[in-house]
């Protein structure tokens, strides 16, 4: 390699190092067993909460539908 090629290579390495330095880390930090259990418990609680909310909204919407069906049946 001649002198100009060496300089180009060196500046490219420096530029790459600068990019690597400023990018966000992609390696996830260690998550302990207890923290994973807490996260799983939170997810399960949210899922259960959403399920109960869906059931209550379904129950609330089912009652008027049934009443209207009864009115239609009695009208016939």
In the chain, where are the structural domains located?
Answer: 34-64
**Does the structure show a pLDDT above 60 at 76?**
no
**In this predicted model, which residue has the larger pLDDT, 46 or 57?**
46
**CA–CA separation, 9 and 2 (whole Å):** 11
- Find the mean pLDDT for residues 36-49: 95
Q: What is the pLDDT of residues 14-26, one digit of tens each?
A: 998 888 776 566 7
The helix (run of H) or strand (run of E) holding residue 33 is helix 33-75
Q: Would you say the pTM of this structure is higher than 0.85? A: no
Compute the mean pLDDT over every residue in the chain, rounded to the nearest whole number: 81
Within a 10 A sphere around the Cβ of 11, how many other Cβ atoms?
A: 10
Are 44 and 36 a contacting pair, CB within 8 Å? no
């Amino acid at each position: 390699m001649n002198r100009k090629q060496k300089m180009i290579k060196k500046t490219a390495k420096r530029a790459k190092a600068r990019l690597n330095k400023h990018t966000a880390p992609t390696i996830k930090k260690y998550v302990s067993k207890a923290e994973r259990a807490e996260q799983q418990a939170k997810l399960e609680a949210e899922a259960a909460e959403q399920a109960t909310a869906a059931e209550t909204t379904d129950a609330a919407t089912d009652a008027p539908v049934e009443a209207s069906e009864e009115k239609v049946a009695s009208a016939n």
